[in-house]
Each structure stands twice: as structure tokens, then as C-alpha cells.
């Protein structure tokens, strides 16, 4: 670096400034990230090194010292009584020991008691209480003031509305992290896949984005959790030590962070950090490190803070488990709605407990930003320990003849020119007759989640489409015994079984047919909501946006998608054909005041392991048959929680909210 000219150093500094500003915007404004925390810190470290060699730049100084700013238009901002600073990070044992030494030298003390806690990978929050009453929840913001997001934390377990117990101060700021548990993260992503929406890459960004949702009902559909770990302002002070405050938080009814310990001396503190790292898999949230804080409040005040971070605390960040392997090629997949998604085909590599051979590349923009090329050696990690993704390229291993990847301009299956609608992050194949889209639509329609046409799997659909026997959903119901016998591996009995299965599917409930149509953004839950409101598929086709958004559970985007779908003549013809072929496009409604709908208007949540032989889907069906609704998360709107064995956080939340809890026998008694 020293051999470079001043102009070259300045050019590099400008590049780093642009990178930091770009990643700050992604992280704080858009609740997403393209690089790991460690990679981000490395960029800032390089800029700090360059700053020492160049003339002083106020912009660079401000960028290196700023906390970040997550404030969003549409929210009211409040000033923190005590600033919410970020923490300095370290990734090595050596640097951690240097931190302990600096603290001891500044304090002119040795063997200083420290508080050690897991570092939750969530969204920072500050809760304000006045005379023990919950007043508001505010995000970190720019460290000085943040957004009031109280409405989106209403009903979250572990945030008491009124404190009870000893030593309750007149004013209290409680600091913590909002997160989404792994099981909830998987449920939401499963729903997004069902609705043909991009999956959330990690739980932290999903939690942060949920906090900032302006639609409160949509935010309530996601099960947020919280862990509190410390205090900001407290008037009057009620403890001389942070560990004392932590005990009070637990007594007052807060959901406090697990595995908190105190230790004295660098070696003992380091051992506590190692224990947290070894036990992190047992926690219900993602941890990315351990936080170490001076325990004595007076000593914290003596040590003070920089403009960015306290001098009395540090975050030791665990290494994210990554693997380096070769990207053999990039393939694109085309979904049933025409969405084109790039996928990295990798030299198989073992990562986080499983062998990974494919990873998401998200979209064309992500490939360009990371400059990912076929043949590169790339770093792969599991986002939220679930979805493998390519996070970076090892540029030192790049071959000299590697060329930038050019995203296809035409569909690889039908040759149609791809289009990208303004505001959309994906390109799509607009050809509804594209053979791969036809196959994907047929697979979706016949799947267990939709019309449940037994024996009509991917291999059979491929044969039917290749033989020009089936090109549309309605063609499934025109397949004859002779058509099937002309295919491979079909004999009289197997062919007749499939014909019987197709015929049987005609009687499926209306919501399954709606779901099977594959309308963009409309999944199983929305299909059920539509079927409850409209007894006739043709009525849905005639509905306008206002009619649809009046339905609980249907938002503007979904409503516009439904209207757009039925505006196309080909789709109107399709539902006419399905009706003429004998499918259940009209469903008789049972009046809610009849004696049969014993659960009308009631919302249920199911959790835990049910008794042997009882399937969750069957239980949901019983609830819906009796007029009730099954939800995935507990809230104040939940009427009953059906809890099986090993029920977890949902049971705790239901208990906190006073939701009636039933076991399976109790549920049977309720409907008997």
C-alpha cells in the first residue's frame, strides 16, 4: 500500500467510501445485506488505514464514526434519553485481550468484573417506561433518536405493559434486540415461496423489516420475539451494577437474554465467551458473537465513550461458517409465473452439517454487484443456517480468462425475450405457453397443497406435455385411459388408478382450486379467505380491488394481482372450462348461525407434537370445517392454542397473553 501514489490511495479511499455508503443504505434503509459483518468491518478498517496516509477528510471521519441510521419515513421519531451507541467489534482472541488491557489501563485497575452475554443477531430496540408503565418502543435510529415502532411490538411476549416488583424507577429505558425465531423464519419463507415472492435471506433483516412495516396487521402476521440485555437512562438509579439491573429486568417480567454470566480477569472472560459459542445452537435465535461489558455502572461512566461506541464494552464476533468451493456454472430456473432465478452449480462442499452443491444467486443485479463469474472460487454460507448463498468471490484464485457473466436475454426454454417490470428485481418470461412454465403450473395444480391429484407427479406430467396430451390445467380432465396407456410404465391398473384420482379431485374444496390456479402472490391462506368471501369462482373473477382488499388477509398487492389475472381472457376461459368439466367452482355456503359452525369466528394456533396418528393438516381442516381459522402465530387475536408435546415459545407467548390452551383431548371436547 505504501508504494502506491497519493492519487492511487485517494482513488481507493473513494471506492471504499462508495462501498460503505452503498452497504449502509442496504442495511439500514432496505433491511438487507450482501456481505457479512466481518467483510463490512474489513472495508472500514482498510479505509481507516488509508485515512492515516491522506489529508483529513470530514466525510471519511464521519463515515467511520457514525452509528448508522435506520430511521424511515412514515414513523414519528423520539430522542433517546441516553444515546444508543453501537459496539466496537473484534474477531480475534488477541484483539480481545488488548481490549481488556485498555480498560484496565484507563481505569488503573486490574481484575475488573465483566458481564458476558450472547449477542443476538436482531434489530436493536429501546423500551421506555414511566412510573412502571410501558410508553413506547423506539429503534436505534442514528443513535440519538429513533423511530417509534410501538404499534408493531404490541402483544409481543416479554414486553410487560406494567412493571411489578421492587425498585421500579420513575423513568427507565430498557435496551434489547427484536428477532424472529428459526421456526418462524422457515414458516414465513415457506409462505413466500408459495406466493412466488423472493425469500428473506436471513432472520435479522426480516425482523428489522417487520418492525418498520406501516401495515400493522401484516406485521402481526409475523411472530416477533424479544430479548432484553441492559438499560439506558434510569432515574433514579436502582443498581450500582449492570448485573443487578439484569436481575431486576427478569423480576419485572422482561424476556431477558439467556446464558448471561459474570467473570473477572481476561482468561475467565474468554472462557465464558467460548462457552457461549459452544452452546449457541441451543438458543431459539441466531447469535453472531458475545458481548462483554464492564459490570460496574460508575466505572462505565468513568471510561466514557467515543462518538460511536462505549469504551467499556466490546462485541467478540464469531466466525460465520463458510466454505470455499468452485462455481462450476450458473443455471437459470423459470418458475410457473415466468420468474427467472439464477442458481450457482457448485463443486459439492460440506457446510454447516450438510453437503451443498447448489446455492442461490438471487437475481441479475446481485451477480453484477458481486462480480460473480463461472469458474470462480466462491465463498458460500447458509443464510440463517437455512438457505445456501454465494457471499463473495476469491479474486486471488480467479482465472485470467474468466469473463463477466451475461444474464440471458431470452428464455432458455422457449426463446421468448425476457422482460423486467419497473420496480421488480427479477426478469420474467412473458410467454404463458413456455413449456417449463406449463410443467411448473401443472405440477403446482396437482400437488398435495392444491388439488392433490394422486399419482400425477413430475415424471408423468413431463410425459404428458412431451406427448402433447396436456398443455393447460383443464387438459388434465380430458386425459383418457388410452392416453395414459401410450406412455412409458403405464399398465391397465396404474392408468385406471390415475384416471380415478383425476376424477376424484373434481370434488376438492373451492379454496384448493383457487390455490391451484397459481395466481401470483396468492397462497393457500389467501385462497381460503377468498373462498370464504365468495362462494363462486366466477364472482372472484368479477371482483375489483376494493372488493378484495375489504377481505381480512388480502392486501393491495395481492388484490391487484387477482384482478390482473382474471382480466386476461385466457384465464376467464379456463374457469369456464373447469366448470363445464365438472370441477367444484361453486361451493355451497353454510350460514354461520347454523348449529354446525361451532368454531365460527375463532382463531386457532397449533404447536408442538400431536398424538400419534393426528396430522396437523387434518386438524387445520377440522377447524376450518367448523368455521374457524388456523393461524401460524400467537397474538391478542388468538382465541385458542392447541398445544401438543414439546410446545415451545408459542405456548409461552399464549400463557403471557392469557390465551386459552387446549390439548388434543380438550380440542375434541370443544367441537363435540
Looking up residue 342, the CATH number of its domain turns out to be 2.40.50.140
Residue 613 neighbours by CB under 8 Å, 6+ apart:
none
Domain boundary among 317, 351, 374: 317
CA nearest neighbour of 447 among 493, 500, 513, 495: 513
Residues 313 and 333 both lie in one domain: no
Decide if 660 contacts 605 (C-beta within 8 A). no
CA 540, CA 560: separation in Å to the nearest integer? 12
Residue 540 lies in a domain: no
Distance CA 663, CA 465 (A): 47
Spatial CB neighbours of 410, under 8 Å, sequence gap ≥ 6 = 416, 417, 418
577 located within any domain: no
Count of other CB atoms within 10 angstroms of residue 537: 23
Q: Same domain for 195 and 297?
A: yes
Instruction: Let me know whether 112 and 242 are in one domain.
Output: yes
Last residue in a domain, options 301, 317, 333: 317
Closest CA to 289 of 74, 139, 137, 116: 116
For the chain, residues with pLDDT lower than 50 are 1-2, 384-385, 590-595
- Distance CA(627)–CA(590), nearest Å, equals 9
Contact (CB, 8 A) for 314 and 96: yes
Alpha helices in 25-139 (DSSP H): 37-51, 58-65, 93-107
* Chain segment 329-363, per-residue pLDDT in tens: 999 999 888 889 899 999 998 876 668 899 988 88
DSSP label of 29 = I
Q: Which of 65, 87, 107 is the last residue of a domain?
A: 65
Is the distance from CB of 72 to CB of 29 less than 8 angstroms? yes
Structural domain including 11 reads 6-65
For the chain, what is the domain count?
Answer: 4
Give the position of cell 410404465.
Answer: 489
Same domain, yes or no: 298 and 427: no
The answer to whether residue 326 is domain-embedded is yes
The side-by-side arrangement of strands in the sheet containing 261-264 is 89-90, 313-317, 287-294, 113-120, 261-264
List the catalytic residue out of 119, 382, 533, 629: 119
- State pTM to two decimals: 0.55
Active site residue 119: yes
pLDDT of residue 443: 92
Amino acid at each position: 500500500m505504501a508504494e502506491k501514489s497519493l492519487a492511487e490511495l485517494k482513488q481507493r479511499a473513494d471506492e471504499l467510501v462508495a462501498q460503505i455508503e452503498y452497504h449502509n443504505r442496504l442495511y439500514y434503509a432496505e433491511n438487507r445485506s450482501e456481505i457479512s459483518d466481518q467483510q463490512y468491518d474489513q472495508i472500514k478498517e482498510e479505509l481507516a488505514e488509508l485515512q492515516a496516509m491522506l489529508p483529513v477528510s470530514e466525510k471519511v471521519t464521519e463515515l467511520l464514526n457514525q452509528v448508522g441510521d435506520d430511521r424511515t419515513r412514515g414513523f414519528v421519531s423520539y430522542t433517546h434519553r441516553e444515546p444508543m451507541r453501537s459496539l466496537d467489534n473484534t474477531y480475534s482472541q488477541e484483539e480481545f485481550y488488548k481490549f481488556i488491557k485498555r480498560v484496565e489501563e484507563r481505569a488503573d485497575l486490574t481484575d475488573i468484573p465483566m458481564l458476558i452475554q450472547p449477542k443476538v443477531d436482531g434489530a436493536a430496540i429501546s423500551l421506555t417506561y414511566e412510573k412502571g408503565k410501558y410508553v413506547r418502543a423506539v429503534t436505534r435510529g442514528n443513535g440519538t433518536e429513533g423511530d417509534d415502532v410501538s404499534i408493531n411490538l404490541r402483544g409481543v411476549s416479554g414486553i410487560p405493559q406494567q412493571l411489578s416488583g421492587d425498585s421500579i424507577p420513575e423513568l427507565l429505558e430498557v435496551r434489547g434486540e427484536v428477532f424472529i425465531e428459526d421456526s418462524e423464519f422457515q414458516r414465513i419463507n415457506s409462505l413466500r415461496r408459495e406466493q412466488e415472492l423472493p425469500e428473506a435471506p436471513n432472520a435479522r433483516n426480516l425482523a428489522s423489516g417487520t418492525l418498520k412495516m406501516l401495515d400493522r396487521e401484516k406485521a402481526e402476521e409475523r411472530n416477533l420475539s424479544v430479548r432484553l440485555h441492559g438499560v439506558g437512562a434510569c432515574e433514579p438509579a436502582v443498581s450500582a451494577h449492570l448485573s443487578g439491573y439484569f436481575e431486576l429486568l427478569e423480576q419485572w417480567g422482561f424476556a431477558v437474554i439467556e446464558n448471561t454470566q459474570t467473570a473477572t480477569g481476561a482468561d475467565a472472560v474468554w472462557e465464558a465467551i467460548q462457552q457461549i459459542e459452544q452452546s449457541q445452537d441451543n438458543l431459539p435465535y441466531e447469535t453472531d458473537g458475545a458481548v462483554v461489558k464492564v459490570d460496574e455502572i460508575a466505572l462505565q461512566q468513568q471510561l466514557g465513550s467515543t462518538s460511536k461506541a462505549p469504551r467499556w464494552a466490546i462485541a467478540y464476533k464469531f466466525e460465520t461458517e463458510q466454505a470455499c468451493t468452485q462455481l462450476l456454472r450458473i443455471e437459470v430456473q423459470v418458475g410457473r409465473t415466468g420468474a427467472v432465478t439464477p442458481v450457482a452449480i457448485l463443486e459439492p462442499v460440506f457446510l454447516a452439517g450438510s453437503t451443498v452443491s447448489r446455492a442461490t444467486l438471487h437475481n441479475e443485479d446481485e451477480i453484477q454487484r458481486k462480480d460473480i463469474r463461472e469458474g470462480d472460487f466462491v465463498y458460500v454460507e447458509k443464510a440463517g443456517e437455512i438457505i445456501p448463498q454465494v457471499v463473495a468471490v476469491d479474486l486471488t484464485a480467479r482465472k485470467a480468462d474468466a469473463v463477466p457473466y451475461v444474464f440471458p436475454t431470452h428464455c432458455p426454454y422457449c426463446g421468448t425475450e425476457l422482460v423486467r417490470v419497473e420496480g421488480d428485481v427479477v426478469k420474467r418470461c412473458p410467454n404463458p405457453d413456455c413449456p417449463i412454465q406449463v410443467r411448473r403450473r401443472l405440477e403446482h395444480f396437482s400437488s398435495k397443497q392444491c388439488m392433490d391429484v394422486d399419482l400425477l407427479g413430475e415424471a408423468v406430467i413431463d410425459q404428458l406435455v412431451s406427448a402433447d396430451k396436456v398443455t393447460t390445467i383443464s387438459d388434465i380432465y380430458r386425459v383418457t385411459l388410452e392416453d395414459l396407456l401410450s406412455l412409458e410404465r403405464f399398465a391397465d391398473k396404474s392408468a385406471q388408478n390415475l384416471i380415478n384420482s383425476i376424477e376424484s379431485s373434481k370434488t376438492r374444496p373451492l379454496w384448493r382450486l383457487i390455490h391451484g390456479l397459481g395466481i401470483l402472490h396468492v397462497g393457500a391462506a389467501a385462497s381460503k379467505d377468498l373462498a370464504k368471501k365468495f362462494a363462486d369462482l366466477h364472482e372472484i373473477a368479477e371482483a375489483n380491488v376494493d372488493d378484495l382488499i375489504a377481505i381480512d388477509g388480502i392486501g393491495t398487492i395481492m388484490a391487484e394481482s387477482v384482478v390482473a389475472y382474471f382480466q386476461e381472457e385466457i384465464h376467464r376461459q379456463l374457469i369456464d372450462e373447469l366448470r363445464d368439466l365438472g370441477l367444484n367452482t361453486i361451493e355451497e355456503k353454510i350460514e354461520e348461525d347454523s348449529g354446525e359452525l361451532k368454531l365460527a369466528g375463532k382463531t386457532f394456533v397449533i404447536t408442538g407434537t400431536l398424538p400419534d396418528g393426528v396430522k396437523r393438516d387434518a386438524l387445520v381442516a377440522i377447524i376450518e370445517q367448523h368455521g374457524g381459522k388456523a393461524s401460524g402465530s400467537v397474538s391478542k387475536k388468538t382465541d385458542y392454542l392447541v398445544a401438543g408435546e414439546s410446545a415451545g415459545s408459542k405456548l409461552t407467548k399464549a400463557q403471557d397473553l392469557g390465551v386459552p390452551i387446549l390439548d388434543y383431548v380438550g380440542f375434541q371436547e370443544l367441537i363435540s
